[in-house]
Structure 1
Amino acid sequence: MSDPIVPPILPREFGVYFALLEVSALVQHGVEGQLRRDGGLSFVQFQILAILGEDPSSPRSMTDLADRLVHSRSGLTYQVDRLEQAGLVARVPSEQDERGVNVTLTPTGAAVLARVLPGHADEVREVIVDALDGADRDELTRLLRQVARHLRSRPPRSARRAPTRSAEA
């Protein structure tokens, strides 16, 4: 009989990890259903529109969007392509980088965002806010922001180099 495999992390620590993943998946599933019903949007597409909607007069670079969303550049390009085809965003030349392209919210995109936001707020309230009292919400927010700050202290995905293949492979 072989020895049991002991993970280099305690079961209690795995518990935090699995609880976070479970809640994230359940919340995303709930809100994505609402976003598809009310606006025909995926969760990532909604996030793009919401970021652009923070300041509609200020286009965002693709790198900035990728870093904010923690999404690959190729995946972001695909999502922006779909939003652009639907007339919800437009690509505009960057004023800071002659090779760069920025993304801006179109009036149609702003209208879709305005249409989905009330239902989105209701869904968020139902799946998160109503599950906790005020003090627990504040504490959870504080803890999650602490974890996010820790994770964002690392270089953003857009700045990381892809692993290189060794010559032996």
Structure 2
Amino acid sequence: MSLAEPYDHLALDHDQLRAYFALMDSVALLRHRIEQQLREAADLTYVQFKVLARLGLDSPTGSLRMTELADEVVYSRSGLTYQATQMERAGLVERNPSPEDDRGVTVTITDAGRERLDRATPGHIELVREQLFATLDDTDVRALATMLEPALAHMRASPPRSAAPRRRGKAKP
């Protein structure tokens, strides 16, 4: 994509543009299909599924602190608070004060949350295999992960404003 002066130095080269659009369009199409599958299988959004998966599959205790969970699911703290409220009302999770820190909140998956996760997971895995991995061999999959992990780490190093630590008071001039 070439841009007119004075913006011509901002242009991406041909390969960068191809990679960017291929990634973004692939993610958009995959996300749409995943959202649809999760809704139909278990009446969950992708974020809700990811919360349940982190709690039910990745955490040995079934619990995580809200801040840790927000970082892991790549979601703002306020957005996760909203989702946790909805999920708590549905009986999928429980929130309690953190045993390590009175200011923190711990989210724990419930039996109903585990049942919903169990309903969603088989179809989710099948869809990911069919849509993302069907045209890739093992070498391609490893290469894709190897290429994306540094970019992901770089982006995680500078969280969105809503997930960044809050500043207390006004800065002094």
Common fold: TM-score over 0.5: yes
What SS does the aligned partner of 2:106 have?
strand
Give the conservation status (yes or no) of the 8 Å contact 1:32–1:43. yes
User: Deviations for 1:79-128, whole angstroms, at most 9, x for unmatched residues?
Assistant: 11111111000001101111221100001101110111111110011111
* Pairing of 1:48-127 with structure 2 (within 5 A): 48-53=51-56, 54-55=58-59, 57-127=61-131
Residues in 1 aligned to 2:103 and 2:157: alpha-carbon distance in whole angstroms: 28
Aligned-CA RMSD value: 1.9
Q: Give the corresponding residue for 1:19.
A: 22
What SS does the aligned partner of 2:103 have?
coil
Give the conservation status (yes or no) of the 8 Å contact 1:92–1:101. yes
Give the conservation status (yes or no) of the 8 Å contact 2:50–2:73. yes
Residues in 1 aligned to 2:28 and 2:37: alpha-carbon distance in whole angstroms: 15
Residues in 2 aligned to 1:121 and 1:150: alpha-carbon distance in whole angstroms: 27
What SS does the aligned partner of 1:131 have?
coil
What SS does the aligned partner of 2:8 have?
coil
Q: How far apart are residue 58 of structure 1 and its match?
A: 4.4
What SS does the aligned partner of 1:99 have?
coil
Give the conservation status (yes or no) of the 8 Å contact 2:95–2:106. yes
> Share of identical aligned residues, percent?
44
Q: Give the corresponding residue for 1:139.
A: 143
Q: How far apart are residue 32 of structure 1 and its match?
A: 1.1
Q: Give the corresponding residue for 2:37.
A: 34
Higher relative contact order (CA 8 A, sep 6+): 1
What SS does the aligned partner of 1:102 have?
strand
Give the conservation status (yes or no) of the 8 Å contact 1:35–1:43. yes
Q: How far apart are residue 154 of structure 1 and its match?
A: 3.2
Residues in 1 aligned to 2:23 and 2:9: alpha-carbon distance in whole angstroms: 19
Unaligned runs of 5+ in 1: 163-169
Unaligned runs of 5+ in 2: 168-173
Q: Give the corresponding residue for 2:170.
A: none
Aligned residue identity for 1:87: G
Q: TM-score, normalised by structure 2?
A: 0.84
Say which is worse superposed, 32-41 or 153-162, in terms of deviation.
Answer: 153-162
**Count of residue correspondences:** 160
